[in-house]
Amino acid sequence: MNSTSTSTNKFEQLADLKQKSIIDASVYEFANNGFKNASVNKIVEKAGISKGSLFNYFKSKNLLFDHIYAIALREVKSYLAKVRDESVHDDFFTRFNKIINSGIAFINKHPRLARIYFRLLNSDDSPHGKAIIQNLHSEAIRYLTDFVEVGIERNELRSELNPTTVAFLMESTLNRILQVHYLEIFDTESTLSKTDNNWINDIVETLKTGLSK
């Protein structure tokens, strides 16, 4: 794991398996109880370390949470970079479909990280959750704007479209689809539509009607 400003050198010097046990215990606790209600005692018990050791690695609960967020962000960026690079020869709407499915794959593989994100999105749970969400929004708009600009250059989208506005529409659509999928996993009583491929294809086709040349 790479060093970040959220942790101390002592944490980075730990064996990878020890780091993983601390991260896994922290993700489990934050996902289940949110930031405010997360118990440091439960984290250290699950990780098999003392509270003193944890605070040698992370100076505060806030910094531990920030470290988890940084890990999640790196993982998300890895997924999105893979889509960008592997879909470079696809048309705009195929690429957007692949972005959506990449987000669903991330939730399936990392459901607890997704749960932490949606807790942040829907509540003021962490000390600077709004700043985190704003940062994620800005990153997403930049990422999606690049796709839109390429689509316009290739004459796949109408030339008069504002790339930032289209990126905002894409991000809003993506977030809603991923929220539906998340609720399917964590809320068995949800009445929202299932995120199957036909449903996703219908959404992308609807956007295509309004955006394509």
pLDDT (tens digit, 9 = 90+) per residue, 52-105?
999 999 999 999 999 998 899 999 999 999 999 999 999 999 999 999 999 999
Cβ pair 184, 199 in contact under 8 A: no
pLDDT of residue 193: 52
Q: pLDDT of 110-129, one tens digit each?
A: 999 999 988 887 777 777 77
Domain 68-211 is in which class?
Answer: mainly alpha
Residue with tokens 């929220």: 179
Cβ pair 209, 138 in contact under 8 A: no
pLDDT of residue 126: 73
CA distances from 34 to 29, 87, 174, 208 (A): 7, 36, 23, 38
Residue ranges in the chain assigned as alpha helix (H): 9-12, 16-37, 40-47, 51-57, 61-86, 92-109, 111-122, 129-153, 163-186, 197-211
What predicted TM-score, i.e. pTM, was given to this entire model? 0.85
Token pair recorded at residue 9? 């050198």
pLDDT of residue 2: 44
